[in-house]
Amino acid sequence: MTIQGLIFDYGGVLLDMRFEFTRELERRHGLRERALAETLYTTETWRKLEVGVGDREVWLQEAHSLLESEAGRPLPPLHVEWRNEQRLIDENIALIERLRPPYRTAVLSNADNTLMHRICNVHRIDHLFDDIICSADVGMAKPDRRIYQLAAERLGLPPSACVFIDDAERNVEAARDAGMHALHFRIELGHSLAAQLAELGVRPPE
């Protein structure tokens, strides 16, 4: 089936997460590699928050406490420093703008319920998407097969007419299992989203 819908992850595809900056922070403060990401995103508190259960501030405070426990000393707000370094991937945003129309576009992200605010009011890119699905708002998260089916349905398309793009390989594989085309995009590896999509025949209209 001809590809008609493009579904983008937020962190890592629209937003450069700046993992190289976390490594710099970890070295500077004597922390193990990936400590910042893991204290945020691998806890049970996060797993509940990303499906809409819990309090964002409690999650952030817990993550900082876990980091200080690992260090054995007080630390500055390193997660905040990391977030402040994150920025939109300008070339991907510009590409999406060129792809509309003819393609329908959506965001599908595992995120707390501040995602809509960030996309609409901080980045001001909501006009580039026909739909925005936040896991906390719908009560399920990738790699749950149902969330991919929901994303396709809300675009009015079958999964086979959609491409899903994510920086996490397990989410990419889950999208394929749900019947979608899928791409694994990693900005830190120098991937070009335009080139990856072109291999599937998806190009901006001339």
Span 68-80, pLDDT tens digits: 999 999 999 999 9
Are 58 and 97 in a shared domain? no
Looking up tokens 């703008």 gives: 97
Q: Which of 52, 85, 118 is the last residue of a domain?
A: 85
Residue 37 in any domain: the answer is yes
Three-state secondary structure along 107-159?
Answer: EEECCCCCHHHHHHHHCCCHHHCCEEEEHHHHCCCCCCHHHHHHHHHHHCCCH
* Token representation of residue 33: 């590699």
Tell me the pTM: 0.96
Tell me the mean pLDDT in the region 115-133. 98
pLDDT (tens digit, 9 = 90+) per residue, 17-40?
999 999 999 999 999 999 999 999
Residue 48 has pLDDT above 90, yes or no: yes
Residue at 129 is within a domain: yes
74 DSSP assignment? -
Question: H or E segment at 45?
Answer: helix 44-49
pLDDT tens sequence across 140-193: 999 999 999 999 999 999 999 999 999 999 999 999 999 999 999 999 999 999
HSE of 182 in the Cβ direction (CA atoms, 13 Å)? 22
Residues 106, 79 share a domain: no
One domain, residues 69 and 145:
no
Token duo for residue 186: 């990693």
- Residue 91 sits in a domain of what CATH number? 3.40.50.1000
The verdict on residue 205 lying in a domain is no
Q: What pLDDT does residue 206 have? A: 83
Contact 119, 34 (CB under 8 A): no
Does residue 180 sit in the same domain as residue 113?
yes
